């Protein structure tokens, strides 16, 4: 019920729809509905509705015509204004406001730290080489051939290190994780310690004593750069290679409709595993559609709605008493709920019957509308044809670009498409503008009508839709174990979003023991199975 | 009628003498055989032990010489005219039974009911 109250501003329309007079419909249909029963003619308005919804989705037509169960959908929150919001919209707006504040300073802090460390690392070998020339140039031995060869080596190794660090670390960040990335922090500390210890040694043994052996100093700088390259190798192994080998099989289930997927992950910390799972979520899971859940909610409400518990013995827990009094009140509530459960179990309700027939009817309706839609689209596509080069000179008048062509053929299929979307409760995912854009795109790329329809017939992955329809932007990781600890067998954590949550359980991939058996190709021999019967 | 390899086979047998009937150029006995050491013993419907590769009577022509002599379907043929039939190929058995020079074949056959009859008679006290 909550999800439909957004559009309940139109409910006063449907209240009058039974009387076969609909506001804003085409005049043709109005004449028809006066003569026929309103149930048989479900007309669709293509004109823009008089009230602009607050969320700016101008193509939404609202739950105007739901003749089957209009009693349930139209008595939701009928606000005094036409711009009524549901509870979830309010929560979503407040969440979006607090989205962008607070995490930016942390990102800039880590960025500046990284830049400082990088500068320190790159300038250290150069400083080692240059400082003797500045501080004691007259006592310094001149650089021989081998020493100058080492200059080239230092230069190229520094260049390689620069490119490698750029490739590994200077990539646009894909996410903001709750806790610090442990391996990166450890590596940064290691590099810092390393460079500091080299500086200490340099300061004590070379600067203080003013060593004249320049070749030794150059070799010292080369060893520093070598060691930095090895640390970079360690960084690659820890950050990139270690989690490539799949170690855990992770099961991700959406809490609202139970859609489940399984992924293979390597040895990751919980927050990085959550990040990998979310990136897969946007590609694999179909878009979350709250309109599909209303039926089960209404059924659940009906189950317990018919039962009322009366207290025949007449003991009212009037004031909150201590000790045994409270227990009596708790016991009373306990026994009440048990009585309700027992009564509900005994009651012979026929709700399963209703569900069965309702689902069969819905299935039939969806298939009928889909057939009409496919025919309408195929017919619409036959009206336009790609123009050949030689025709360009003959008929310059009627030439259209893809967008105009789309707008030209859209009205003939619009009604069937809207009816289908409304039956499958997808109408809020697609605006008229997006449909026309998609149509222009399909026409440009020579797609068949079936290819055009594919994105409307089945609910696609979340990435396919525009950002406002995702309903999944800000994620919270809920976990009993620390989020920087590694994944283990049986780890369970939750990724909560405003409307739903993803439940993630992990299982270790078992150790596989394989043995071999050799089959000689000459060992494939066969005999006939005889069973003859001879009469004598 | 299971047998243990290497041990002598013991069975309770019945002696049946069949006179061959002349039909044109052929001498027929009026039954069909199945089994043999070159056949698949698992498909024999009459044997108790499915590894038994002996010769079994699979069909009896009603009113024929074998029927008149008392041969029954499912009998295992142990000897024909003194020749052993427990370890022969199917073709050897056929040839032994259909020798043109012999008019009569004397079979030693065994069946389960014979064993049971002997056991029953042994369990009654002698009178």
Predicted local confidence at residue A319, as pLDDT: 46
In chain A, how long is the greatest CA-to-CA distance? 125
User: Strand B26-28 to strand A248-254: parallel, antiparallel, or no bridges (unpaired)?
Assistant: unpaired
**Residue B35 lies inside a defined structural domain of this protein:** yes
Check whether A57 has a pLDDT greater than 50: no
Q: List A residues 465-484 in contact with B (Cβ-Cβ < 8 A).
A: none
| Cβ proximity of A416 and A378 under 8 Å | no
Q: What is the pLDDT of residue A397?
A: 67
**Distance, CA of A109 to CA of A180 (rounded, Å):** 12
SS3 assignment, position A47: coil
Partner residue facing B33 (CB), from A529, A530, A536: A536
Contact (CB<8Å) A529/B38: no
pLDDT, one tens digit per residue, over A254-278 is 999 899 999 999 999 999 999 999 9
Does residue B4 fall inside a structural domain?
no
Report the distance separating Cα A534 and Cα A282, nearest Å.
Answer: 73
What confidence category does residue A23 fall into, taking pLDDT thresholds of 50, 70 and 90?
very low
B 19-38 residues with CB < 8 A to A: 28-29, 31-34, 38
Q: Is B18 within a domain?
A: yes
Q: Which residue has the higher pLDDT, A208 or A351?
A: A208
Is pLDDT of A478 > 90?
A: yes
pLDDT at site A499 = 86
Do A150 and A222 form a contact (C-beta atoms < 8 A)? yes
Higher pLDDT, B70 or A387: B70
Residue A391 confidence (pLDDT): 67
A532 vs B: CB within 8 A: yes
pLDDT value at position A233? 95
pLDDT of residue A470: 73
DSSP calls for A362-390: HHHHHHHHHHHHHHHHHHHHTT--PPPTT
In a domain, B5, yes or no: no
Residue A231 confidence class, pLDDT cut points 50, 70, 90: very high
User: What pLDDT, on the 0 to 100 scale, is given for residue A275?
Assistant: 92
Contacts of A526 in chain B (CB under 8 A): none
By CA distance, what is B53's nearest residue in A?
A531
Q: A463 pLDDT band (50/70/90 cuts)? A: confident
Q: Do A533 and B98 touch (CB under 8 A)?
A: no
Selecting from B33, B38, B61 the residue whose C-beta is nearest the C-beta of A534 gives B33
List phi, psi (to 5°) of A497.
-120, 180
Whole-number Å distance between alpha carbons of A152 and A165: 20
For residue B122, give both structure tokens: 């042994």
Closest by CA position to A72, among listed A305, A258, A289: A305
Chain A residue numbers with beta carbons less than 8 Å from the beta carbon of B38 are 530
Across A84-88, A158-162, A379-383, A532-536, which has the greatest mean pLDDT? A158-162
In sequence order, the β-bridge partners of residue B23 are B26
DSSP A501: E
pTM: 0.63
User: Range with the lowest mean pLDDT among A9-23, A69-83, A194-208, B7-21?
Assistant: A9-23
- For residue B107, tell me if it sits in a domain: yes
Closest in B32, B39, B44 to A535, CB measured: B32
Task: Return mean pLDDT, chain A.
Answer: 79
State whether B90 and A529 contact (CB < 8 Å): no
Rounded Cα distance between A488 and A269, Å, is: 9
Partners of residue A104 on adjacent β-strands: none
Is there a contact between B90 and A534 if contact means CB atoms under 8 Å apart? yes
**Token couple for A459:** 């609910």
A531 and B43 in contact by Cβ < 8 A? yes
Distance from CA of B4 to the nearest CA of A (A): 24
Instruction: Look at residue A88 in the predicted model and tell me its pLDDT.
Output: 56
Contact at CB, A535 and B90, closer than 8 angstroms: no
Pick from A530, A531, A536: CB nearest B29:
A536
B90 touches chain A (CB under 8 A): yes
Predicted confidence (pLDDT) at residue A76 exceeds the cutoff of 70: no
pLDDT for the residue numbered A136: 84
Residues A320-342 pLDDT 10s: 444 454 566 667 777 777 877 77
Q: Which two tokens stand for residue A77?
A: 């929150």
**DSSP codes joined into one string, chain B:** ----TTSPP---EEEEEEEPEEETTEEE-SEEEE--TTS-GGG-SS-SSTT---EEEEEE-TTSHHHHHT--TTPEEEEETTEE-SS--HHHHHHHHT-TT-SEEEEEEE-HHHHHHHHHHHHSPP-
Find, among A276, A129, A298, A125, the residue nearest to A215 by Cα: A129
Q: Is residue B7 one of the residues assigned to a domain?
A: no
Structural domain tally of chain B? 1
Question: Which CATH number characterizes residue B90's domain?
Answer: 2.30.42.10
Distance CA A182, CA A172 (A): 19
Number of neighbouring beta carbons within 10 Å of residue A504: 22
CB pairs under 8 A between A and B: 38
How far apart (Å, rounded) are the C-alpha atoms in residues A192 and A260? 45
Cβ–Cβ under 8 Å, residues A462 and A259 = no
Q: Is the CB of residue A527 less than 8 Å away from at least one CB of chain B? A: no
Quote the CA–CA distance of A125 and A195 in Å, as a whole number.
Answer: 10
Residues of A in contact with B31 (CB under 8 A): 535-536
Q: Which parts of chain B sit beneath pLDDT 50?
A: none
Measured CA to CA, the distance from residue A495 to residue A505 in angstroms comes to: 11
Where in the sequence is the domain holding B54, given as residue range(s)? 13-120
**Could you state, in order of their start, the residue ranges of all structural domains in chain A?**
102-242, 248-287+473-510, 354-458
Residue A19: pLDDT band with limits 50, 70, 90? very low
Q: Smallest CA–CA separation between B28 and chain A, in Å?
A: 6
């Amino acid at each position: 019920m909550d999800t439909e109250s957004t559009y309940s501003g139109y409910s006063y329309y449907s209240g009058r729809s039974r009387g076969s007079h609909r506001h804003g419909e085409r005049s043709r249909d109005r004449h028809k509905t006066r003569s026929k029963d309103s149930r048989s003619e479900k007309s669709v308005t293509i004109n823009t509705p008089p009230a602009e919804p607050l969320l700016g989705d101008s193509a939404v037509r609202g739950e105007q015509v739901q003749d089957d169960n209009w009693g349930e959908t139209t008595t939701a929150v009928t606000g005094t204004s036409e711009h009524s919001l549901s509870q979830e919209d309010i929560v979503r707006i407040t969440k979006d406001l607090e989205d962008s504040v607070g995490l930016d300073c942390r990102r800039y802090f880590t960025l500046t730290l990284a830049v400082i460390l990088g500068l320190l690392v790159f300038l250290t070998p150069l400083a080692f080489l240059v400082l003797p020339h500045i501080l004691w140039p007259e006592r310094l031995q001149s650089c021989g051939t081998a020493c100058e060869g080492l200059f080239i080596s230092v230069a190229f190794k520094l260049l390689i290190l620069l490119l490698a660090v750029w490739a590994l670390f200077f990539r646009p960040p894909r996410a903001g994780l709750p806790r610090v990335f442990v391996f990166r922090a450890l590596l940064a500390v290691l590099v810092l310690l390393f460079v500091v210890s080299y500086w200490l040694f340099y300061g004590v043994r070379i600067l203080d004593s003013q060593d004249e052996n320049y070749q030794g100093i150059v070799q010292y700088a080369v060893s520093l750069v070598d060691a930095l390259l090895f640390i970079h190798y360690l960084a690659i192994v820890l950050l990139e290679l270690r989690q490539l080998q799949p170690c855990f099989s992770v099961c991700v289930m959406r809490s609202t409709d139970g859609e489940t997927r399984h992924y293979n992950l390597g040895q990751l910390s919980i927050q990085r595993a959550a990040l990998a799972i979310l990136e897969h979520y946007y590609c694999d899971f179909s878009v979350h559609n709250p309109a599909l859940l209303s039926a089960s909610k209404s059924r659940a409400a009906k189950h317990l709605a018919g039962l009322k518990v009366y207290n025949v013995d007449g003991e009212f827990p009037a004031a909150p008493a201590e000790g045994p009094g409270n227990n009596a009140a708790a016991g009373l509530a306990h026994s009440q709920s048990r009585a309700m459960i027992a009564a509900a179990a005994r009651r012979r309700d026929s709700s399963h019957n209703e569900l069965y027939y309702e689902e069969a009817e819905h299935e039939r309706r969806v298939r009928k509308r889909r057939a009409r839609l496919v025919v309408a689209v195929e017919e619409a596509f036959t009206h336009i044809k790609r123009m050949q080069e030689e025709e360009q000179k003959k008929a310059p008048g009627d030439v259209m670009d893809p967008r105009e062509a789309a707008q030209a053929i859209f009205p003939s299929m619009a009604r069937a498409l809207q009816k289908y979307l409304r039956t499958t409760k997808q109408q809020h995912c697609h605006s008229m503008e997006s449909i026309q854009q998609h149509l222009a795109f399909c026409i440009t790329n020579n797609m068949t009508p079936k290819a055009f329809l594919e994105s409307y017939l089945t609910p696609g992955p979340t990435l396919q839709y525009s950002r406002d329809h995702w309903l999944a932007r800000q994620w919270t990781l809920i976990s009993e174990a620390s989020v920087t600890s590694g994944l283990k067998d049986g780890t369970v954590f939750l990724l909560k979003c405003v409307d739903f949550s993803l439940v993630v359980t992990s299982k270790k991939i078992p150790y596989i023991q394989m043995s071999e058996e050799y089959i000689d190709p000459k060992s494939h021999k066969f005999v006939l199975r005889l069973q003859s019967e001879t009469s004598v | 009628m299971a047998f243990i390899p290497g041990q002598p086979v013991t069975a309770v047998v019945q002696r049946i003498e069949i006179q061959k009937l002349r039909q044109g150029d052929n001498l027929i006995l009026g039954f069909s055989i199945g089994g043999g050491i070159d056949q698949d013993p698992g498909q024999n419907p009459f044997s108790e032990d499915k590894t038994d590769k002996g010769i079994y009577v699979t069909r009896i022509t009603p009113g024929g010489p074998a029927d008149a002599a008392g041969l029954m379907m499912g009998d295992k043929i142990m000897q024909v005219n003194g020749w052993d039939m427990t370890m022969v190929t199917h073709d050897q058995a056929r040839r032994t039974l259909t020798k043109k020079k012999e008019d009569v074949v004397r079979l030693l056959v065994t069946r389960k009911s014979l064993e049971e009859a002997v056991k029953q008679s042994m369990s009654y006290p002698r009178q």
